[in-house]
Structure 1
Amino acid sequence: MYTIAHRGASGYAPENTFAAFDLAAELKSDMIELDVQLTKDRHIVVIHDDRVDRTTNGTGYVKDYTLKELQTLDAGSWFGPAFQGEKIPTLEAVLKRYHQKVGLLIELKGPPSQVGLEKEVGKLLSTFSFSIYNIVQSFNIRSIQTFRDLYPSIPTAVIARPSFGRLTRNQLNVYQSCADYANIKYTRLNRLLISSVHKRGLKVFAWTIRDQKTADKLQSMAVDGIVTDYPDFTLKDDKHETI
């Protein structure tokens, strides 16, 4: 089972910053989950919300900023004074720093407003062919289908909140056609659902865990990975199978 640090070790440091990513690596996370969007001048930056207001000292939409303008913002002080001066990273900078150390679970944010994001992310990932492992995910099925069509060799995941703890046959067919993983909200997971996804040849990541009791429970339910703000909640084995 794999430990995926949600927006880095975001329980301990400001999300989607190098402070959170460095700590996730120090805690021996298998992967770092992060969110990407395009700037006004078509750079890929790592930030969750459509707007910068919640996690920086700026205001407005990410898509209305140039990269240079975004990187003048403070992305750390909201979390605590010790993180003052943290910046919004680019995906390229994250890849350069971690691509041979930690896997990345990259969420495409904002389609359809982020026109061309799939192409730009895939093009960048293709230049880091010696990365440990990268997975591209989205809530938006069409976005994942587009990405799979463009870059069939890069693993993909669909993020899901199944109703009543089940996926229909049609949903499973769609997931199977364009993804390698079904990443499912932990409150909707049960053993039968996990088994039905596994039978389709897909792996299951559970998101997002913020307490030790839930982490312990999920480790016993045969999920393939846990997405958590606190990567030290999951016990680390000396050996892992290939993702």
Structure 2
Amino acid sequence: MGRKTKVALTVGAASVAAWAASKVVAKPQPRPQKEALEFKDPVVLSLRGGMKYAPEHTMAAFSKSAELGVHGFAVDIRLTKDEEIILFHDDIADRTTDFSGKISDYTIDELKKADAGYMFQDEEGNFPFRDKGEKIVSLRELLTAYPHMLIAINLKDSPDTYEGSLMPSKLWRLLEETGAEERVIVMSAFDEQTDRFNLYAQNKVATGAGNDEVKKAYASFSSKFGHLYNPRADLFCIAEKLGPFPLNTESFISFLSNLNISVYYNHVTDRDAFVKLLNAGASGFVTDEPEMAMEVIQENS
């Protein structure tokens, strides 16, 4: 046996020993149960109200999705000039209204004057809700209008902006005032934002994983050192892939489920993909195809 072979075997043995030792010492801590995620059957949340049916983030969209029997909505929030929380995806007002400039340049009263159906176009190329009185909706209005719905709230403003720095405390105060702590999920692409929010919430509210947390979890899972992973979120709302890496496998879903983490998939538009994910153990879906998602779940229940 050559010297290089002996070194390789020694390193390999040391790695196995380290892995075995970590299995004995490590004690992963499953996430505590959160009422907002206690569903017996897979959950369907319409994305921004179900964008195929009506202008996103409007009461017309939420109403149409609610009629389908969805469990709730997934919404994006931003802060106005007068520090009110509204439902809006982009930070530029002219994306879905007839206003221009940034959302943070306007007060909520000013934004309420905008036509929130301005950029909406249906499958036939028509603008059915344009100039029909659809207005921007505040988060308070949505929570009040649908008191029994699950609401997944995505903090869109970056933590390094003025609006982003205020959002965690503003959101917590609103949830306390409306008594909505146990029927919402708070998430952000920025893990820092949910960490800041949890400083106020103190684990009373279900939180979703940001981009870095998802990468950390998948790296732990794929490296076979998953027993060293301690999650910081109650929900993973993810796409089917992370770059070239599959996140839609039964083994990855099981890895997260064993830590009491719910797994919702977004941007699913194909019926076969819905069925595959259901069979793999998905806890729910965030989709702008809520009608299809509800049909698939009912057919496969």
- Whether TM exceeds 0.5 here: the answer is yes
**Equivalence for 2:153:** 106
Q: 1:83 is aligned with what amino acid?
A: F
- In structure 2, the CA distance between the partners of 1:71 and 1:203, relative to structure 1 (3 Å rule), is same
Q: Does 1:233 align with 2:292?
A: yes
Q: Which runs of structure 2 are paired with 1:32-71 in the superposition (5 Å)?
A: 32-71=73-112
Q: 2:43 is aligned with what amino acid?
A: Y
Contact 1:208 1:228 in 2 (8 A): yes
- In structure 2, the CA distance between the partners of 1:167 and 1:31, relative to structure 1 (3 Å rule), is farther
Q: Does 1:154 align with 2:205?
A: yes
**Structure whose CA Rg is larger:** 2
1:14: how far off? 1.1
Q: Which runs of structure 2 are paired with 1:76-225 in the superposition (5 Å)?
A: 76-80=117-121, 81-84=127-130, 85-100=133-148, 102-112=149-159, 113=161, 114-129=164-179, 133-151=183-201, 152-160=203-211, 166-168=218-220, 176-177=231-232, 179-187=233-241, 188-225=247-284
Secondary structure of residue in 1 paired with 2:62: helix
Question: How many residues end up aligned between the 2 structures?
Answer: 236
- In structure 2, the CA distance between the partners of 1:192 and 1:47, relative to structure 1 (3 Å rule), is same
The one of 32, 36, 44 aligned to 1:3? 44
For residues 193 and 60 of structure 2, the distance between their equivalents in structure 1, rounded to whole angstroms, comes to: 29
How does the TM-score come out when normalised to structure 2? Answer: 0.72
Q: 1:123 is aligned with what amino acid?
A: R
Q: Which has the higher helix share?
A: 2
1:175: how far off? 7.0
Q: Which has the higher strand share?
A: 1
For residues 226 and 108 of structure 2, the distance between their equivalents in structure 1, rounded to whole angstroms, comes to: 38
More divergent stretch after superposition (39-48 vs 60-69): 60-69
- In structure 2, the CA distance between the partners of 1:104 and 1:205, relative to structure 1 (3 Å rule), is same
* Backbone CA RMSD of aligned residues: 2.6
For residues 180 and 76 of structure 2, the distance between their equivalents in structure 1, rounded to whole angstroms, comes to: 21
Structure 2: give runs of 5+ residues left out of the alignment.
1-41, 122-126, 242-246
Contact 2:143 2:180 in 1 (8 A): no
For residues 280 and 94 of structure 2, the distance between their equivalents in structure 1, rounded to whole angstroms, comes to: 38
For residues 67 and 194 of structure 2, the distance between their equivalents in structure 1, rounded to whole angstroms, comes to: 31
Instruction: String of CA shifts for 1:12-66, please: whole Å, max 9, x gaps.
Output: 1111111111111111111200011110110001000011121111111111111
More divergent stretch after superposition (203-212 vs 131-140): 131-140
The one of 49, 63, 74 aligned to 2:115? 74
Secondary structure of residue in 1 paired with 2:280: coil
Structure 1: give runs of 5+ residues left out of the alignment.
none
For residues 227 and 79 of structure 2, the distance between their equivalents in structure 1, rounded to whole angstroms, comes to: 30
Contact 1:160 1:185 in 2 (8 A): no
The one of 24, 28, 42 aligned to 2:69? 28
- In structure 2, the CA distance between the partners of 1:142 and 1:23, relative to structure 1 (3 Å rule), is same
Contact 2:253 2:281 in 1 (8 A): yes
For residues 184 and 214 of structure 1, the distance between their equivalents in structure 2, rounded to whole angstroms, comes to: 14
1:195: how far off? 1.6
More divergent stretch after superposition (25-34 vs 188-197): 188-197
